[in-house]
Each structure stands twice: as C-alpha cells, then as structure tokens.
Amino acid sequence: DSMTGAGILPGDVVIVRRQEKAETGDVIVALVGDEATVKTLRRRGRRIELVPANPAYPVLIPRSEEHTSELQS
C-alpha cells in the first residue's frame, strides 16, 4: 500500500513497459536488491530516491551499486 496516494491499491495489477530513460516524477518499477518496487522517481543531483505515495512509508535511497544503468542515464 505504499502507492495508495497515486491510486495504485493493494491487489491492483501494474502493467509496465521498459523504456530507456525515466525522469523525476515518473512512476517506475525498480529492482532494489532482489525486490521489485513501484515508486515515484526523484533525482537529487547524482542520488536517486524512490518515493512512496503514502506518507507511512520511507523514501528509499538505493546504494549506488544497486542503481541500474537505465536510472543512471
């Protein structure tokens, strides 16, 4: 339920398409470690933040070695 504020509710099916780039504000599916997560992308300089749409959840800041090449572009 970390994305309920964006209208993505528990039990919803999320359909995604792979694309070369993602911009700040895009809702993305990110692989962090072994887990996939749906979050809003926010870039702060070279740092990437994965922002939930539910204030009960923390912002995820993946370690630099977890960033995929698509997000670093």
Residue 1 contacts residue 9 (beta carbons within 8 Å): yes
Catalytic-labelled residue, pool 2, 21, 69, 73: 2
Question: Does 2 participate in catalysis according to the annotation?
Answer: yes
Query: Which region holds residue 47: left if phi is over 0, alpha if psi is between -120 and 50, else beta?
Result: beta
Contact (Cβ atoms closer than 8 angstroms) between residue 16 and residue 22: no
List 21, 39, 64, 69, catalytic entry: 39
Active site residue 39: yes
As annotated, the active-site residues are 2, 39
